[in-house]
Amino acid sequence: MKKLFQSSFVRNTAILLVGTGSAQAIQILGAFALARIYDPTEFAVFSFFTACTSIILSFSSLRFELAIALPKSSEEAEQLVALSLRTLLRVLGLVVLGIVLIFSGQEIFNYSVPTAILLVPVFTFFAGFTQILNYWSTRNGTFLRNALSKISVAAVTVGTSLLWGMLIEDPIGLIYGAILGQIIGWIIIGSNYSKLAIQAWKKLTNHDAKVLWKSYSKFPTYNAPNALVDNLQQYGIVFLLGTFFASEISSYYFQSLRILAAPLALIGASIYQVFYPKAAQAFHDTKNIRGYVLKIYGVLFAIGFPIFAVLFLFTENIFVFLLGETWRMTAVYAHILIPFIFANFLISPVSAVTAVVHKQHQSFAFSLVGLSLKIISIVVGGIMHDPILGFTLFSLSGVGIMLSGMFWYWYIAKERETLEHLG
């Protein structure tokens, strides 16, 4: 079991890392080019759009997609796929209704709501459907398809945004590029699975859905709110920044995340996708995953530390060279955020352990504390009219929460005595 676990993990992670690395190379190079086409004010529109879609995606299927890896039977996994898809459509219906009721007639960052905000459900549908199919594909071991989907999303998103910006000179091209990228990614990952997912949805009875809700109630009850809070910590800040500071500040923050956090976050997501089903399987079989969790921490530190050390020491030179003089202030905020982003990189892939050992409710409370501290940080900076102060408090509180979380994952593992033989 140990030999099989380790070899399959390495092989599958390598496939996803190649796909992720290729996708991130495209996105990073594209970001450098896009920064010379779109200025910080224009990027504010896209940062708002990304914040909205990321927050909605965090709970769009009430996290039932995470449970797809858990059942021993394929039939139950297919029912969870169907339940996830059904939930996604219902949530999106509520989102559309909310947009019509709340935002009609308003303007956001000098862009009319019908132009930008009404595109949020379109993006979220394809991204949410793809998210569900990704977990199903992971369960079935078709990791190559996941990798190809990531690469296609990045290539189409960047290519469309660049062409739109050069030919039409309109920042809405950033949003159209993101939507088209998700559509292509959905087609690739869904070429085998979309039809099966729809068939499973048609077969899912209300009784089956109720049984699944009861069996996996912790996912909508704790995981979904927890994921929502996590995304509010990262992207909800855009709304606060728009309230207290000029719109360019949200662009600087967004670019910092885009260049620093997103590439390594997808590496972490690749490890997460392989770690989660394997950890769930090992928990079913041996009730013992502690050594493996510690090993993941070591791997993540070895990958991330050299990268973040260089970024921290040469932030201004790197950002001005890559993005141009217009984005110089991005380096200031990125330098402040690097310690927090590194700590978040270390902990994110291992967060699956809370679902495996059924500690989602404690994780949710933990995330609420983190969100509260970050909101307070930005509000204090806003009251003092000092964004640097706000970001500094934001980063320091984030590092504290992440380090506490790493210790907590180790603690709950030891408490359950489930983590001893996989190392």
Q: pLDDT for 337-355, tens place per residue?
A: 999 999 988 888 787 777 7
Query: Burial letters for 309-318: b for 16+ Cβ neighbours within 10 Å, e otherwise?
Result: eebeeebeee
Band of pLDDT at residue 7, cut at 50, 70 and 90:
low
Q: What pLDDT score does 80 carry?
A: 92
Q: How does DSSP assign 312-370, residue by residue? A: HHTHHHHHHHHH-GGGHHHHHHHHHHHHHHHHHHHHGGGGGHHHHTT-HHHHHHHHHHH
CA pseudo-torsion sign 368, 348, 79, 181: positive
Q: H-helix or E-strand containing 364?
A: helix 360-383
DSSP 217: T
Cα–Cα distance measured from residue 313 to residue 395, given in angstroms and rounded to the nearest whole number: 17
Cα–Cα distance measured from residue 193 to residue 197, given in angstroms and rounded to the nearest whole number: 6
Distances (CA, A) of 135 to 18, 138, 142, 196, 209: 18, 5, 10, 14, 19
Q: How far is CA 105 from the centre of its chain?
A: 30
Band of pLDDT at residue 176, cut at 50, 70 and 90:
very high
pLDDT (tens digit, 9 = 90+) per residue, 58-84?
Answer: 999 999 998 888 888 888 888 999 999
- pLDDT over 90 at 405, yes or no: no
Q: Are 83 and 204 in contact (CB under 8 A)?
A: yes
Cα–Cα distance measured from residue 344 to residue 401, given in angstroms and rounded to the nearest whole number: 9
Cα–Cα distance measured from residue 186 to residue 180, given in angstroms and rounded to the nearest whole number: 10
Q: What pLDDT score does 314 carry?
A: 92
Q: Are 374 and 237 in contact (CB under 8 A)?
A: yes
Cα–Cα distance measured from residue 80 to residue 136, given in angstroms and rounded to the nearest whole number: 9
Determine the 3-state secondary structure of 107 from DSSP.
Answer: strand
Show the tokens assigned to 29.
Answer: 């190079």
Cα–Cα distance measured from residue 406 to residue 402, given in angstroms and rounded to the nearest whole number: 6
Q: How many helices (H) and strands (E) does the chain have?
A: 19, 2
Task: Give the mean pLDDT of 84-101.
Answer: 89
Most confident residue range from 51-65, 219-233, 338-352, 401-415: 51-65
Q: What pLDDT score does 421 carry?
A: 42
Band of pLDDT at residue 179, cut at 50, 70 and 90:
very high
The pTM for the full model equals 0.74
Q: What pLDDT score does 160 carry?
A: 93
Phi, psi of 287 (to 5 degrees): 55, 40
CA pseudo-torsion sign 275, 281, 283, 289: negative
Of the listed ranges 220-229, 265-274, 291-300, the one predicted with least confidence: 265-274
Show the tokens assigned to 133.
Answer: 């199919």
Of the listed ranges 111-120, 136-145, 224-233, 343-352, the one predicted with least confidence: 111-120
User: What are the beta bridge partners of residue 108?
Assistant: 111
Task: Give the mean pLDDT of 52-63.
Answer: 92
